[in-house]
Amino acid sequence: RIDMAPPAGAVEVATGSKIDGLALKDAGIQKDLYLFVNGKEYKLKPMQDFQPDQTLLTWLRSVGLTGTKLGCGEGGCGACTVSSSHYDPASQKVVHRAVNACITPVCAMEGCHVVTVEGIGNSKIGLHPVQKRLSDKHGSQCGFCTPGFVMSMYSLLRNNPTPNEHEVEHCIDGNLCRCTGYRPILEAFKTFCPGESEEKSAKSNGCCNGTSPAPYNPSSEMEFPPQLLPSKYSSRDLQFQGSRCTWYRPTSMSSLLALKAQHPAAKIVVGNSELEIERKFRSSNWEVLVCTTHVPEMNELRNLSNGVHIGSAVTLSRIYDHLNQLLASKEEHSTYNFKAMLQQLRWFAGTPIRNVAAIGGNICNASPISDLNPVLMACGAVLTLIKVDGSTREISAKEFFKERMYRQTHLGPDELLLSVFVPETKPMEFSQGYKVSRRRDDDIAIVTAGLRVRLEQKPEGFVVVDCGLAYGGMAASSVNAKKTEEFLKGKTMSHELIRQALEVLPDDLPLADNAPGGMIEFRKTLSASFLFKFGIFVLQQIAPAAVDPAEQSAGIPYSRPVSSGLQHYTETGHKIIMDPAGQAMTGPFDVEGGVGKAVKHLAGDLHVTGEAVYVDDMPNPPGGLYGGLVLSQKSRARLVSVDPSPALALAGVHGYFDHKDVEGNNVFGAVIWDEEVFATKEVFTTGQVIGIVVADSAILARQAASMVKVEYEVLDAILSIEEAVAAESFIGDEGKIESGNVDEAMAKAEKQISGEVRIGGQEHFYLETQASLVVPGENNEFIVHTSSQNPTKTANYVAHVLGIPKAKVVCKVKRMGGGFGGKETRNVFISMACAVAAKKLNRSVRIMLDRDHDMCISGQRHPFLSKYKVGFNKDGLITAVDVKLYSNGGMSLDLSRPVLERAMFHIENAYSIPNVRVTGRVCRTNLPSNTAFRGFGGPQGMMACEAYMEHVARELGVHADEIRAKNLYPTRGGVTPYRQELVDCHLREMWAELQSSCDYTRRRAEVDEFNKKNKWKKRGISMMPVKFGMSFTAKFMNQASALVHVYTDGTVLVSHGGTEMGQGLHTKMCQIAASELGVSLDKVFVTETATDKCANTHPTAASVGADLNGFAVQDACKQIAARLERFRQAKPGATLAEIAMAAWLDRVDLTAHGFYKTPDIGYNFQTGEGRAFHYFAYGVACSEVEVDVLTGDFSTLRADILHDVGDSLNPAVDVGQVEGAFVQGMGLFTLEELVWMNNGQLFTRGPSTYKIPSANDIPIDMRVKLFENCPNRRTIYSSKGVGEPPLNLAISVFNAIREAVGAARRDAGKEGHFRMDTPASCERIRLAMGDFILGKYAASDVLAKGSW
């Protein structure tokens, strides 16, 4: 090995009697922070303007730049993304990086130009091309994540004005969106790609939206500040001293070593990605932080004659780019180690993390599930360590980590990691990197591996002369499989040798049944699967013909093609509208942007510029304070004592308040009063609110809350459905729906089956967490600004806890950063807690929950257990179904009963079954109360249904789609189990149309053929129908009101009871008003939802927000239009402004209150009589997947969706709802998994552990069509609600996975039914395969554990 690193002792170190003089007394040290933000110069002083441990995000928001959002606080969602630019001396050019402001220290921005979303464009001066294209292409819904996406794409364009489509998809791999399903975001950004993508994207939004965007001119971008160029700026050593820590940034090795000598315990910082997590979740603090980003020796990245030299501070993005460039200039045989690193780096975190995180941090962190460390160990990487005296030593990567010791290395206390040397591979030497995680993009590994082998050709064949097999996730450290390595050496490479090695591997990688991380069988199986994959890969390189064609897929590394989408819809204009009785009404005016037009979200421009205001963006009122909740840490316990004195001793803390301070009623509940605002004597779940601490800042409030001492007497807790059933711990009575004679039909059935399935819960993961600002006024009046779907309930409950009249509390909702049901009831106790403190102090109090607290206390989608028995005939017609449902309601009722009832209503999904009995119980457990979530029980009921449909099909040996088709409801005459007749049921027509348009028959044959030819990759295809009932099942909730003002300039202000959470409700209401009043859409406005404008409203939920509020808005508009009619006739062709002025002068009221109540609605569970739903929405989907048999990983190759929205009020908005719901459903059924620990604490409490779909999880080919010519005469303008029904169509992806797994099981000789619970995680998929590798580690009927 040559030219690897400087020889020992080569680093010059200054000498002197006091080594700290270099760090503390050098006159050249800079003690002020100098940076630019959006072209503006800042010189900041520590303590006065910032704290050294402060993040860039908190500082930006403190100076009023609130477009950058706090979504998670751990660099996992991308809502905080900004662009950071600096001059790079090595390349002699300005480099632009997307970074996560929530974990980036503001100190790290010294000498940088930070650009936020406000800095590139706004609605007043004009939008940046990225902003405009995203807005025009419907790329925002709730808008909370949007600034982060904008800045990720902006950063890419600043470095590369003509990116390709892969680079576009790659650049947003660190950004999450819960609303859109990503397709419109990707297609908007791909218009910047040269070639076909611009034209394709322009056409993809529908037949009426094919305009091309204006050309992008990179020369018009903001200039990098010349003050930061080398001619005017030079980097100096930094020292920022704060109240909690001191930050140093040395610019030479000698200064760094002096600091290390002076502060041996100093924490070394480059990207801060790990440190901020430790600070947040482990309450870690360090007195001294030393940043090495400007030490030249640690930032070297250069090619040597036999490998690559990488300084320890080199970022992962630089390494990724360098190695990719290196592949083009090197002979392939020398690049396998580099390829293995690239395989891991591609899926390592997200782009903003890779842009700042350094390889040295990843190595020295010594995580046992590191992506890179096993590759470095296997490939023979050598680390160079440097001591404080300047001497160096070398150590191999595999020797660096203390074996099976958690996060322990052989790095001495007086040493630093200087550099890494990665050798080239020799001829006949091969390396690969492997990783499996819950989500492919931006996720920590479950098991990871670096595998290398070097062969020598001899007469007997290719003999193994050296190898390295390193694993992560199989011990407390990354480990080498030493016995297997020795076994392989000297043996001839062959398929048989691979299988023999698999017998040795378990001795190297033992895992106890109680090993941390769980998933024992899965992890063991993965370790072997990786070795098998690698063996096949090596055989493919040396003797391709020796590999069975059916096994070739095992050795092919994963590669995802770019995604694409097609959307088909038709805009409508003036049309005859039918009233609920089927009578023709006067049609609306055909106006610009009116009903039926595909206009973009009216707040779209505000979303993309960061101008859209959310609760936490609102300026603090004078004297405003911040609340921190004191939360229970026990699942069930008596409160022995609560001592707030340590918190109250902190300067800046203004008080602690609990149940003793409640002047009204401390008991509340969504349906029944069974919860306490503040716990009094006993806590019933972790995360239950005990009290609230109020302080000058949010950080101080949270710190103080954590200092309140609570003493518990722990009691026995119930956590699961099974435990609750055994203890008969239920809330309320059993619910029941029954039709026909189930027992008789079951007895007469030709065939019977029985089984059970578990359906997992789901975290809402709205990007904006629960937030509330309570402002006291005079005479016991209060204004509550909150992120709530239910402003009336919020206002009423605030009045309730304060003991004041409801009329004295006004709740205002401007917009939400997502809701999905999670802000229907579980937001109110936060507003109530703030209100108690605000009243006591007569000062405003606000809270925005941290992501981890939000996830731990606000409840999720209900987990369900379904036990079924089914009778059917040999042709597949189902004659009887008997189902028992159990839901995990948590510690209180909340909305669990109506959720359960909706699940019962959908137990037959879209199938006509003459005899049905379904019963249901809500289980009381000691978990946070579960609550509403998009679909509201419908997904659980339909999943239970599809489980027994699949079971029937496997019992008969036919494809499940054949059973589905045979049992679909007829077009007319179908009657549900709750005795509601179906009118205009489009299921059979839609099934046939989609089956034809998606070329189902041909594709299913191709899937079968693919599966015959491939043993280790399998495909599945499945169709899925949906029938979803539309309306609140509680009769009294089906009402709405609106208030409409027409002004004399012809503008219109609409107030209604619905809230905007991204679904485009305000946009649709404005379209209705525009059409009814005959004015263009740009003249109509909605400012907010407020209870002093529309009182006694109901939550925006159940997908009927547009139905209810639309009729109310129409009613108000028609009243005004009737008053204006004589003025219109008097002035034909006059504008609304002229007509309104004339009416005003004639003293005509230009304001109207509208009201609507849904007719003929109301089901009685006791009698089984009444109409449960106003109407039904229908949909059909076909999904095709490919599954990796050896890992459980899968990709959705294509999804075709045909959905019924009646005559769409806004087809562009509706398509967005269909796509977003479908991808959210994919998360529910295949990806998102809640993990609760045995002590009742939630483990998956942030994006690092809980994984929603990313842009790389969506269908590679996604096609959506709105079903045409199906007006719904019962609703506003013949439209239908759209928010929830399409989510259920994602069950088709789950079912396709089952088909693929079934194909793999057939290869393994396992026929017939097998159980798969949801979500279909990679663990569940892998453990269902039944192959010979799995058989070594798990029983044939093994099921993945889950939290139910």
Residue 890 contacts residue 859 (beta carbons within 8 Å): yes
Which alpha helices (DSSP H) does 395-448 contain, by range? 397-400
Cβ-Cβ contacts under 8 Å for 961 (sequence gap 6 or more):
1022, 1023
Tens digits of residue pLDDT in 976-989: 999 999 999 999 99
46: left (phi over 0), alpha (psi -120 to 50) or beta: beta
Q: Is 143 annotated as a binding residue?
A: no
Q: Is 272 annotated as a binding residue?
A: yes
Q: Is 179 annotated as a binding residue?
A: yes
Q: Is 592 a catalytic residue?
A: no
Nearest-CA neighbor of 748 among 915, 606, 634?
Answer: 915
Q: Which helix (H) or strand (E) holds 248?
A: strand 246-249
Burial class (CB in 10 A: 0-12, 13-18, 19+), 548: exposed
CA 1289/CA 1027 separation, integer angstroms: 10
Residue 1037 contacts residue 1098 (beta carbons within 8 Å): yes
Tokens of 165: 């489509």
Catalytic: which of 1284, 1299, 1311, 1323? 1284
Model pTM above 0.75 = yes
Q: Is 268 annotated as a binding residue?
A: yes
Place of tokens 């290398």: 452
Residue 928 contacts residue 891 (beta carbons within 8 Å): yes
Q: Half-sphere exposure of 270 toward its Cβ, with a 13 Å CA cutoff? A: 26
Q: Is 77 annotated as a binding residue?
A: yes
Lowest mean pLDDT among 151-155, 577-581, 1025-1029, 1047-1051: 577-581
Model confidence at 200, pLDDT cuts 50, 70, 90, reads low
CA 1211 to chain CA centroid, nearest Å:
25
Lowest mean pLDDT among 64-68, 73-77, 392-396, 587-591: 587-591
Q: Where are the beta strands (DSSP E) in 473-539?
A: 479-480
Tell me the average pLDDT across 695-699: 97
Cα distance between the two ends of the chain: 56
Nearest-CA neighbor of 349 among 368, 370, 330?
Answer: 370
Tell me the average pLDDT across 402-431: 96
Q: Is 400 annotated as a binding residue?
A: no
Residue 526 contacts residue 446 (beta carbons within 8 Å): yes
Nearest-CA neighbor of 52 among 108, 98, 114?
Answer: 108
CB atoms inside a 10 Å sphere around CB 26: 14
Tens digits of residue pLDDT in 927-957: 999 999 999 999 999 999 999 999 999 999 9
Tell me the average pLDDT across 38-56: 96
Q: Is 1102 annotated as a binding residue?
A: yes
Question: What average pLDDT does the structure give for the chain?
Answer: 94
Q: Which helix (H) or strand (E) holds 739?
A: strand 730-739
> Which amino acid does the sequence have at 1015?
K
Tell me the average pLDDT across 1174-1186: 98
CA 532/CA 509 separation, integer angstroms: 15
Tokens of 1142: 């004339």
Q: Is 824 annotated as a binding residue?
A: yes
Q: Percentage of the chain surpassing pLDDT 90? A: 92
Whether the per-residue pLDDT at 196 is higher than 60: the answer is: no
Model confidence at 576, pLDDT cuts 50, 70, 90, reads very low
pLDDT of 8: 34
Q: Is 787 annotated as a binding residue?
A: no
Q: Is 905 annotated as a binding residue?
A: no
> Which amino acid does the sequence have at 127?
L
Q: Is 713 annotated as a binding residue?
A: no
CA 1203/CA 1179 separation, integer angstroms: 4
Nearest 5°: the CA angle 1165, 1167, 1172 is 50
pLDDT of 21: 36
Q: Is 208 annotated as a binding residue?
A: no
pLDDT of 577: 44
Tens digits of residue pLDDT in 8-17: 333 333 333 2
Strands 1194-1203 and 1175-1188: antiparallel
Model confidence at 210, pLDDT cuts 50, 70, 90, reads low
Whether the per-residue pLDDT at 857 is higher than 90: the answer is: yes
CA 167/CA 181 separation, integer angstroms: 19
pLDDT of 279: 84
CA 857/CA 847 separation, integer angstroms: 14
pLDDT of 1247: 95
Whether the per-residue pLDDT at 651 is higher than 70: the answer is: yes
Q: Is 1033 annotated as a binding residue?
A: yes
Model confidence at 588, pLDDT cuts 50, 70, 90, reads low
Whether the per-residue pLDDT at 5 is higher than 50: the answer is: no
Q: Is 789 annotated as a binding residue?
A: yes
Residue 1304 contacts residue 1185 (beta carbons within 8 Å): no
Burial class (CB in 10 A: 0-12, 13-18, 19+), 16: exposed
Lowest mean pLDDT among 443-457, 587-601, 1098-1112: 587-601
Whether the per-residue pLDDT at 377 is higher than 90: the answer is: yes
Whether the per-residue pLDDT at 1251 is higher than 70: the answer is: yes
